[in-house]
A and B are shown apart, each in its own frame.
Chain A
Amino acid sequence: MQDLAALQKKAREAGRPLLGCFPPYPPLELFTALGLTPLVLWNLGPWQRDTAQADGHVQPFACSVARRLAQACLGPEAAGFDALFMYNACDTLRNLPEVIEQANPDLTIHRMHLPQTHPPREHARAYLEGEIRDLAVRLAAGFGTPFSRDAFGDAVERHGRLRALALEAAGLAARGLLPFSRYAGAMNRVWLSSLEDGEGLLKELIARAARTPAPARARVVLSGIQPPPGPILDLMEEGGIRVVADDIASLSRALTPGPATPGDLGAYWWAWYMGHHPCPTLLYSVERRMGLLPDLARRSGAEGVIFVGEKFCECEYFEFPLLTREIQGAGFPAMVLELAIDDRDNLEAFRTRLEAFAEAIESGKGRPS
């Protein structure tokens, strides 16, 4: 297993300063345009099992995302970043920046407030546009890299290409031509790589796709704040469960395309954030979230939905009861898998549940709908 330090070292080979970013939807194109390499600090489990430093600062009732993020920013890997960026999502993440600053006074954290009004309102638009412009000015001053429209246009195009490749890989996984675990693992690495390395990783992944699909007992939509750990995805695949579509924060939700033409910086990001794939961390997107999952399940030919519940993630847990009901009301079986920070070490209980879920889907296939 590679660790975060190795990924930082590799990303630095691109010759640009590294900007660690959280939560999962930072304005990546802006950072690229300013000559930075943004690394999205989300789903760090595969790279960082130990949370020793974080445990001295964050209580165990915070989710694993926050604890691993805190570890990355408080442990030795913090020195591998030139700066950090964060915007507001949940209360836990909102409280972290000063904890990090306290431990690393030399590490600058650039903050942005993302308006959470819903429905989106005009003064929120003006506010966000101001925040984005201020951020660009601060970063340009901090790194000595002035913002240019041309560079932004180029960054938009390059990130668009990356997203297109990611969607192509997702499509292959949905058709059974790539194991979903490999797609999720690659994407996890893409977000922690330079743009050029990320493109390379995805091209390589796509090139290695099989020509004939793997058999599937049950086709599901997977939804959650991060994908389950690799060993649990392996269990799903062993049990014949194929992910035909995902609603995962670091996967499909993060692949929201931007406006076709870059245009004004503020307007671009307003359009991107407000049109973003719904996510429980984006409070304003809740209106669109309810109908999304049944629709996704229908469109993708799924036969069930698995919610990946990140223990202590209140953003997700407030939504599960209604979402589950909505999904079941639409005729799809649904299951919530609760995952805690150490659950890659307790696999057998998951195997039993996943097998039972696959069997339930299989046994329901013969029934009239």
Chain B
Amino acid sequence: MSETKLLPKSGKNLSRLMTGYYASCHQEAAAGKPVVWIAIIVPIEILHGFNLVVAVPENHAAMCAAKGVGPAQCEAAEAAGYSLDLCSYARIDLGTAFQGGQGSPSLGLPKADLIISNNNNCSLIHKWFDVYRRMNGTPHFLLDVPFCYGPQREKDLNYILAQYREMIRFIENRTGQRFDPERAAQAVENARECHRLWKRFLGLAKHRPAGITAFDTFAHMAPYLTRFRGSREMVEHMRLVVSEAEEQMAQGLYPVPGEKYRLLWDNIAPWHQMRPMSSRLKELGANIVHATYTGCMGSLEGQTSLYDDPDPDPLRHLARQANFSMCPHGLNLRAKAMAEMIRDYAIDGVIFVSNRSCKPYSVMQMDQKEMVVQATGVPSVMLDLDHADNRKYSESAAFLRIEALLEEIDAARA
């Protein structure tokens, strides 16, 4: 999935990790290990306290989109009655499942024994996953996580914590396994170490020209959103990524050497456009140096700095981070975080992406755009894009707007 020509060792390792991950999911499931499907921000660290196959349908859908098979999988779901207006991740996943994995680069995911979702990142994922509960009778545990209109409230934290404990009992009861708190605690420590490396990696974009692009962060976040989160493999991968990127910078190698425009991306990655978009931007001297989608990893709601406060209770630490991604954040928190990103990364312009497949991310962006422009004076543009279904994307329309943004930046400089 790597789009980075400058980070060959990291790209190779990423491919090795992800290929191995999907292969091992099938192999371990075939050997009898219980399979749990989870929503992308369910705290995987807790699942390290069990011996499970952890499969993440959103990750699989993104991978299908990046490999160019998204629309075909979507069509299979649409043929079964699932509307074109539903999230393309959901349609890819359902389409893959309805075809028994056919058409997927990983042959889909092994059949779930348990499903765990949460409703803060996307409340509709519950309905998507519930299709499998209804079709196959798979037990489905929903973590109910209150939305953050402001900093997380203590009562919300305690409520989430109580549900984590219940989720552990749910898994124990259905797998017959005993939760190992030490392994989960070790996973939390590993994730903290990964977050430190992740922030260091992101920070390489502060250099002029930037040492990385947001496309690099989209690619290298992939293993983080699988069972690798909380693992030593993820830490070692990030160590490799950071060291390789730093070495390249030391040699004067940058992804967009003639960098004229430093841009910020707001929404999920355009999985089907990773190479075409990054290449065309490079020709224009533009680099998307940072993205809200990946900048939030390792932070708390409305912040960009590293959250590294060690709580003696690892579950409590995870409950505090339950809303780390952008979607569970209210408008004011998002605008505050974006203003920090614009300042810290010396952003010249913002690309807001109105994503038909992600209402949690997109509805409020029209006001967010106004707030950010008013607070920072940085020009912005709004693109229409679907993160995984390229039938709803027009490159010419998107670049018409991007080029208009670059012209606006030029005009302001003149």
Contact = CB atoms under 8 A, between A and B. Distances in A.
Contact of B124 (A311, A315, A322): A315
A352 interface: no
A131 B356 CA distance: 32
Nearest to B133: A286
Interface in A283-338: 283-284, 286, 290, 309, 311-312, 314-315, 317-322, 324
A280 B123 CA distance: 11
B325 to A, nearest CB: 13
Interface stretch (B77-85, B99-107, B259-267): B77-85
Interface string B57-87: 0000000000000000000000011110111
Interface string A111-134: 101011110010110010010000
Given A97-B149, A113-B147, A315-B124, A322 B134 contact: yes
B360 A95 contact: yes
Contact of B134 (A61, A116, A290): A290
Interface string A180-207: 0000000000000000000000000000
B359 interface: yes
A312 B124 contact: no
Contacts of B83: 309, 317, 320
Contact of B155 (A57, A127, A320): A127
Nearest to A286: B130
Contact of B144 (A59, A95, A117, A286): A117
Contacts of B162: 123
Interface string A68-86: 0000000000000000000
A260 B363 CA distance: 40
B81 A283 contact: no
B95 to A, nearest CB: 12
B273 interface: no
A30 B131 CA distance: 35
A314 B85 contact: yes
A94 B122 CA distance: 10
Nearest to B143: A117
A123 B331 contact: no
Contact of A121 (B166, B354, B356): B166
Nearest to A320: B81
B81 A324 contact: yes
Contact of A99 (B85, B147, B367): B367
Given A88-B123, A124-B144, A315-B127, A95 B82 contact: no
Interface residues of A, number: 48
Nearest to B135: A322
Contact of B363 (A56, A88, A96): A96
A311 B85 contact: yes
B119 interface: yes
B149 A283 contact: no
A91 interface: yes
A102 B367 contact: yes
B203 interface: no
Nearest to A121: B166
B330 A322 contact: no
B317 interface: no
A95 B87 CA distance: 17
Nearest to A123: B162
A99 B364 CA distance: 6
A352 B166 CA distance: 52
Given A317-B86, A324-B81, A92 B135 contact: no
A97 B363 CA distance: 11
B126 A283 contact: yes
Contacts of A127: 155, 159
A66 B327 CA distance: 18
Helix, strand, loop or mixed for chain A's interface? helix
Interface in B148-168: 149, 155-156, 159, 162-163, 166
Contact of A91 (B166, B332, B354, B363): B363
A60 to B, nearest CB: 10
B81 A123 contact: no
Contact of A94 (B85, B87, B128, B147): B147
Interface centre among B166, B364, B365, B366 (most CB of A within 10 A): B364
Interface in B359-395: 359-360, 362-367, 371
A312 B359 CA distance: 10
Contacts of B365: 59
B142 interface: yes
Contact of B142 (A90, A94, A103, A117): A117
A118 B142 CA distance: 7
B257 interface: no
A127 B153 CA distance: 12
Instruction: Identify the interface centre among A59, A99, A286: most chain B CB within 10 Å of its CB.
Output: A59
B285 interface: no
B181 interface: no
Given A116-B142, A116-B144, A123-B162, A314 B362 contact: no
B359 A62 contact: yes
A255 interface: no
Contacts of A312: 85
Contacts of B119: 116, 283
A98 interface: yes
B146 interface: yes
Given A91-B123, A95-B331, A322-B135, A62 B147 contact: no
B80 A91 contact: no
Given A96-B363, A102-B331, A130-B155, A116 B126 contact: yes
B171 to A, nearest CB: 15
A58 interface: yes
Given A88-B147, A95-B359, A117 B163 contact: yes
A283 B127 CA distance: 8
A85 to B, nearest CB: 14
A286 B360 CA distance: 21
A280 B86 CA distance: 15
A58 B135 contact: no
B302 to A, nearest CB: 12
B364 A317 contact: no
A280 B166 CA distance: 24
A61 B358 CA distance: 10
Nearest to A103: B367
Contacts of A121: 163, 166
Contact of A102 (B85, B156, B356, B371): B371
A18 B141 CA distance: 39
Nearest to B147: A94
Nearest to B366: A57
A24 B83 CA distance: 24
Nearest to B364: A95
A-B complex: 5 closest residue pairs judged by Cβ atoms = A321-B81, A98-B331, A318-B127, A123-B162, A91-B360
Given A95-B331, A317-B83, 7 more contacts: A91-B123, A95-B359, A95-B363, A103-B367, A116-B119, A280-B127, A321-B81
Interface of A: 56-59, 61-62, 66, 88-92, 94-99, 102-103, 111, 113, 115-118, 121, 123-124, 127, 130, 280, 283-284, 286, 290, 309, 311-312, 314-315, 317-322, 324
